[in-house]
Amino acid sequence: MIFSQPQLLLVDDSTLNLKILREFLPERQYCCTTAQDGRQAWEMLEAEPDRFHAVLLDRIMPGMDGMEVLHKMKQHDGLNQIPVIMQTAASTHQQTLEGLQAGAYYYLAKPFDQATLQAIVDAAVRDHISYLDIRQDLRRTTTTMRLLESGTFHFRTPEEARNLAMLLAHAYPDADRVVTGILELTLNAIEHGNLSIGYKEKSRLIEEDKLEEEIAHRLSSPPYSSRVATAKFSRLPQGLSLHITDQGKGFDWQKYMDFDPERAFDTHGRGIAMANKVSFDQVEYRGNGNQVMTVLRLEQVAAPALAV
């Protein structure tokens, strides 16, 4: 199904809250559909699983609450990839962690202002459209990569990272499961590794809509222009291994391996955790963080994939 603009499902038992959401989200950018309880939202989602680009979901509602809707979405093959933005006044560390573990990787704390709402919605929709584009491209590319026993690839730009992710994904039994993880790790090697764009700096660049401009500038400027990243793929008896190395100074990788409630309200910063929790059975950073090894165990390839 093709839509002229991103489709949002807004779910809240408060008519006033739904009105505020619709007023804050520009009609020229988003087409908004509303539901006033979890049951109604679930019926809409189940009836048209390929319709919505993101769901803004109130956590606390009578009857079927937001967490129950979220759990049902993550168990549905056609809905488990749709990003869920959990909007709630119940935003304690533990409650946020519960939502993250259940698959709500985007959070919006009530009360919120228009700028914050739009930034989070933009991030969720942007990530989902990117996933849909990659999945569509995967359908068009060859499956002969299943014959690959080992290979070494060098890449320098985000575009090359994307192309490499689509190519390598076909070496795995479940390309849809791993493609986002490969892409996130290769992009991290370029942006944070070779180009030395830190977390706070990336947040600012996204907010100012200057990230692509800054990436292009650094790719053409010393010392960044000469740096390359390397991906080494190996088919081993116990599973499939991918080793990615960049030429950056490394980073404090430990805190990015899991979904962190402290970053749940940010517009980025989920990629490594998604690779670790969703795409691969093992993700291990080495040294100062400029090397990462991933493993997908062959005996577990048939396990259902979680959402990104």
Pairwise CA distance, residues 130 & 127, whole Å: 5
In tens, the pLDDT along 152-162 reads 999 999 999 99
What is the arithmetic mean of pLDDT over 158-179? 93
pTM of the model: 0.79
Strand, helix or coil for residue 269:
coil
pLDDT at 85: 95
User: How would residue 17 be classed by pLDDT, with cut points 50, 70 and 90?
Assistant: very high
DSSP label at residue 15: H
User: How would residue 145 be classed by pLDDT, with cut points 50, 70 and 90?
Assistant: confident
Pairwise CA distance, residues 126 & 211, whole Å: 14
Q: Say whether pLDDT at 151 is over 90.
A: yes
pLDDT at 3: 61
pLDDT at 308: 40
Highest-pLDDT range among 21-25, 98-102, 134-138, 304-308: 21-25
In tens, the pLDDT along 36-56 reads 999 999 999 999 999 999 999
User: How would residue 2 be classed by pLDDT, with cut points 50, 70 and 90?
Assistant: low
> Whole-number mean pLDDT of the chain?
90
Highest-pLDDT range among 31-45, 79-93, 143-157: 31-45
Helix 114-140 × helix 158-169 angle, to 10°:
50
Strand, helix or coil for residue 289:
coil
Q: Say whether pLDDT at 304 is over 50.
A: no
CB atoms within 10 A of CB 284: 14
**Looking at per-residue confidence, does 184 or 99 come out higher?**
184
Whether residue 176 contacts residue 182, with contact meaning beta carbons closer than 8 Å, is answered with: no
Whether residue 134 contacts residue 141, with contact meaning beta carbons closer than 8 Å, is answered with: no
Whether residue 10 contacts residue 20, with contact meaning beta carbons closer than 8 Å, is answered with: no
User: How would residue 302 be classed by pLDDT, with cut points 50, 70 and 90?
Assistant: very low
C-alpha to C-alpha distances, 302 to 22, 94, 167, 200, 276, nearest whole angstrom: 41, 31, 20, 38, 17
**Domains annotated on the chain, with CATH:** 7-131 (3.40.50.2300), 141-300 (3.30.565.10)
Q: Say whether pLDDT at 88 is over 80.
A: no
Tokens of 125: 């929709």
C-alpha to C-alpha distances, 197 to 133, 211, 224, nearest whole angstrom: 25, 9, 11
In tens, the pLDDT along 117-139 reads 999 999 999 999 988 888 887 77
User: How would residue 271 be classed by pLDDT, with cut points 50, 70 and 90?
Assistant: very high
Secondary structure, 3-state, 106-156? EEEECCCCHHHHHHHHHHHHHHHHHHHHHHHHHHHCCCHHHHCCEEEEEEC
What is the arithmetic mean of pLDDT over 231-251? 96
Flag the least confident range among 53-67, 113-127, 287-301: 287-301
Q: Say whether pLDDT at 89 is over 80.
A: no
Q: Could you tell me how many helices (H) and strands (E) the chain has, helices first?
A: 10, 10
pLDDT at 28: 85
pLDDT at 73: 95
What is the arithmetic mean of pLDDT over 90-117? 84
